[in-house]
Amino acid sequence: MKPNQLLHPDEVRALFSSALSDMYKTEVSQYGALLDLVSDINASVLSEDQAQAQPLRSAEHLKRLSVERHGAIRLGSAQELATIRRLFAVMGMRPVSYYDLSIAGVPVHATCFRPTDAASLQRNPFRVFTSLLRLELMGDTGLRERAAKILETRDIFTERCLELIARSERQGGLTGSEATAFIAEALETFRWHSEATVGIETYRQLRDAHPLIADVVCFKGPHINHLTPRVLDIDEAQAEMLRRGIQAKDAIEGPPPRRCQILLRQTSFLALEEPIAFIGEKTVAGTHTARFGEIEQRGQALTRKGRALYDQLLAEALEHEKNGMPRATALHEAFRRFPDKPEALRKEGLAFFHFKVNPAKTGSAMPDASVDGLVESGWLVAEPLVYEDFLPVSAAGIFRSNLGHEARDRYELGANKEAFEHALGSAVEDEFALYAASEAASLADCREQTRMAIEAQV
């Protein structure tokens, strides 16, 4: 590489996610144990479950699985959110979807920063679930004003980091040496600090309002609170955590186990209680719980129709659970109505697929038929399109189980996407439009490949 040659954003993202994983491993020892557990389970599934392993056997899929991570941070102000958007843009990550967690009693709304095109997702699908604190949901006006003033005094980005972001914007990217410096500076935003910026009484008052408020307001920066590897069998991961003496949350968030996995299932080990020094005339020792270890299993992306059915069935399951039915039973009963075969998901328009030409068919012209007809005749192979995003109820469930706080069911003000996008400085992208475009692009590639194969024989 030439000294002044700009790195592709995918390369910067891959380097950053690797560096962040290394840093988090030194900060949270159980994260390393979690990576070992996930690696063991994935190796077992790939060797024993041929139906699930077959689509993942290519070098590209295996590489993606080994590096896949998502992280989560919580920000306190509009300025922080707008700047983090610029920081992630250096790594080719864009804001996708709006998430309102107030529906589950968590006073934040959020987006997911991630790569959006298929090639970049294949190279490195690193994503960061990024929440913005909603101080307007705090009932105590005086405490709300104090929290706002505390947040005004902090700067979560180093000056050098801001300089490198601006340079990347001016020149369309960073050179290798600039990217190395950028990663080192950006890590400082995500680093853990064991010293609070407030006294212990202020911390306790904010924690009583909601533990997440204290976590956002009382520290120098938005320490990354989890880093999540992808596992191929989350039910086994949940059981294995307990067998290895890791204290797991009581239930897996998301849809129930299925033959055709959909959307996202998540679990975690419970948040660590970590020593904190609180400021005052004399430093006061205390503790704080924020960081935990999460595991995810990603299934197939659903269409709007499929997502509407999912949301309806989830609401029914939650209602059954409120009425005393065990969660696992409630989910199982409700989701009997969600088709669990690939052909049904495709024909009923419930899920997105990635289409490939069957190599055995490339010697003849593609018949004039529907996509379903081409799949049924063996001309096209339909593979599930991976869900790259998040579920607000599941995210809130993970947050609440690790904050140790029985919050209200929901906040009255509800969603405010317009305010979030104003703070962000841009609109969030529509995840459904991205999946639809990816599916359409795969069909276009199939048509082009077939045309080229025919032309080559002429």
**What pLDDT is attached to residue 46?**
86
**What pLDDT is attached to residue 155?**
95
Alpha-carbon gap, residue 114 to 9, rounded angstroms: 12
- 2 vs 275, higher pLDDT: 275
**How many CA atoms are closer than 13 Å to the CA of 140, on its beta-carbon side?**
13
Q: Of the ranges 160-174, 309-323, 444-458, which one carries the lowest mean pLDDT score?
A: 444-458
**Measured over all CA atoms, what is the biggest interatomic distance in the chain, rounded to whole angstroms?**
86
User: Is residue 457 over pLDDT 60?
Assistant: no
**What pLDDT is attached to residue 226?**
85
**What pLDDT is attached to residue 359?**
85
Which structure tokens are listed for 9?
Answer: 């954003």
Could you tell me the pLDDT band of residue 53, with boundaries at 50, 70 and 90?
low
| Percent share of the chain, pLDDT over 70 | 89
Burial (0-12, 13-18, 19+ Cβ within 10 Å), 419: middle
**What pLDDT is attached to residue 105?**
82
- 84 vs 377, higher pLDDT: 84
**What pLDDT is attached to residue 246?**
82
Closest CA to 384 of 344, 342, 349: 342
**What pLDDT is attached to residue 256?**
93
User: Is residue 36 over pLDDT 60?
Assistant: yes
Alpha-carbon gap, residue 157 to 83, rounded angstroms: 9
Asked if residues 457 and 363 have their Cβ atoms less than 8 Å apart, the reply is yes
**What pLDDT is attached to residue 458?**
47
CB atoms inside a 10 Å sphere around CB 276: 20
Closest CA to 78 of 434, 409, 354, 426: 426
Could you tell me the pLDDT band of residue 12, with boundaries at 50, 70 and 90?
very high
Alpha-carbon gap, residue 122 to 401, rounded angstroms: 32
User: Is residue 126 over pLDDT 90?
Assistant: yes
Q: Report pLDDT digits (tens) over 378-390.
A: 889 999 999 999 9
Collapsing DSSP states into helix, strand and coil, what is residue 175?
strand
User: Is residue 1 over pLDDT 60?
Assistant: no
**What pLDDT is attached to residue 419?**
96
User: Is residue 400 over pLDDT 90?
Assistant: no
Collapsing DSSP states into helix, strand and coil, what is residue 211?
helix
Which structure tokens are listed for 269?
Answer: 């080990």
Please name the residues in contact with 79: beta carbons below 8 A apart, sequence gap of 6 or more.
none
Closest CA to 278 of 216, 219, 205: 219
Asked if residues 392 and 104 have their Cβ atoms less than 8 Å apart, the reply is yes
Alpha-carbon gap, residue 347 to 372, rounded angstroms: 7
Return mean pLDDT, the chain: 88
Could you tell me the pLDDT band of residue 412, with boundaries at 50, 70 and 90?
low
What number does CATH give the domain 9-300+388-427? 3.10.180.80
Please name the residues in contact with 410: beta carbons below 8 A apart, sequence gap of 6 or more.
102, 103, 104, 105
Compute the average pLDDT of residues 401-411. 54
Collapsing DSSP states into helix, strand and coil, what is residue 311?
helix
Q: Report pLDDT digits (tens) over 257-305.
A: 999 999 999 988 777 788 999 998 678 888 888 777 789 999 999 999 9
Cα angle value 170/173/177 (rounded, 5°): 115
Collapsing DSSP states into helix, strand and coil, what is residue 354?
strand
Domain ranges across the chain = 9-300+388-427, 302-348, 352-385+432-458
**What pLDDT is attached to residue 221?**
92
Compute the average pLDDT of residues 251-256. 89
Asked if residues 368 and 381 have their Cβ atoms less than 8 Å apart, the reply is no
Q: Report pLDDT digits (tens) over 322-379.
A: 889 998 899 999 999 999 999 999 999 999 999 999 888 766 666 777 888 889 888 8
Q: Report pLDDT digits (tens) over 197-231.
A: 999 999 999 999 998 999 999 999 999 988 899 99
Compute the average pLDDT of residues 183-209. 95
Closest CA to 140 of 214, 218, 211, 209: 209
Q: Report pLDDT digits (tens) over 97-123.
A: 999 988 878 899 999 999 999 999 999
Alpha-carbon gap, residue 270 to 291, rounded angstroms: 8
Q: Report pLDDT digits (tens) over 413-426.
A: 778 999 999 999 99
Asked if residues 30 and 198 have their Cβ atoms less than 8 Å apart, the reply is no
